[in-house]
């Protein structure tokens, strides 16, 4: 009876060691590329409307689809107004720089289409890190 118990302990120890190695060697779960966008809204009083459009699921879906980015990634877009200005900051994380560049192009085109009758939007700053 002692051999099966010892064998069971050895198997459990090996499973724990291999599991620990796999757990410690995995890559980080977050996407490595951050896309930051700053948009200027004209007229400034329409900033709230534009922020609402940018935060909507419909806009996120359309921008992601145009850029060829997965919907789960596109839905993670966050939008924050810049205090006392007509500027809006948006940020999203992508898997690769190529995806990030495509998303930037699709983002601005989609935003201009969605806000065309209510406000004019212009890209003030963009960064991919």
Residue 123's CATH number: 3.30.70.1130
Tokens of 88: 């809006």
Query: What pTM does this model have?
Result: 0.71
Residue 17 lies in a domain: no
Return the exposure string of 44-82: e unless at least 16 CB atoms fall within 10 Å of the residue's CB, then b: eebbeebbebbeeeebbebbbebbebeeebbeebebeee
Residue 4 lies in a domain: no
Residue 2 lies in a domain: no
Residue 111 lies in a domain: yes
Structural domain that includes position 43: 33-128
Residue 23 lies in a domain: no
Residue 67 lies in a domain: yes
**pLDDT tens, 84-95?**
889 999 999 888
Q: What is the mean pLDDT of residues 51-72?
A: 86
What pLDDT score was predicted for residue 36? 93
* Backbone phi, psi, residue 14, to 5°: -65, -40
Residue 10 lies in a domain: no
Residue 16 lies in a domain: no
SS3 46: helix
33 close to 101: Cβ distance less than 8 angstroms: no
90 close to 78: Cβ distance less than 8 angstroms: yes
Domain count, the chain: 1
**pLDDT tens, 19-52?**
777 776 665 555 688 999 999 999 999 999 999 9
Residue 78 to residue 75: CA distance in whole angstroms: 9
What pLDDT score was predicted for residue 52? 92
Residue 62 to residue 95: CA distance in whole angstroms: 18
Q: What is the mean pLDDT of residues 58-71?
A: 85
């Amino acid at each position: 009876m002692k051999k099966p118990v010892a064998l069971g302990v050895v198997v459990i120890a090996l499973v724990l060691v291999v599991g620990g190695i796999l757990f410690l060697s995995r890559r980080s779960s977050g996407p490595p590329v951050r896309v930051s966008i700053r948009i200027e809204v004209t007229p400034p009083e329409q900033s709230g409307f534009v922020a609402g459009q940018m935060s909507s699921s419909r806009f996120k879906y359309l921008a992601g689809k145009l850029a060829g980015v997965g919907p789960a990634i596109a839905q993670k877009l966050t939008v924050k107004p810049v205090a006392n200005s007509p500027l809006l900051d948006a940020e999203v994380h992508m898997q690769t720089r190529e995806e990030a560049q495509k998303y930037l192009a699709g983002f601005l085109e989609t935003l201009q289409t969605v806000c065309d009758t209510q406000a004019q939007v212009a890209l003030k700053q963009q960064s991919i890190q």
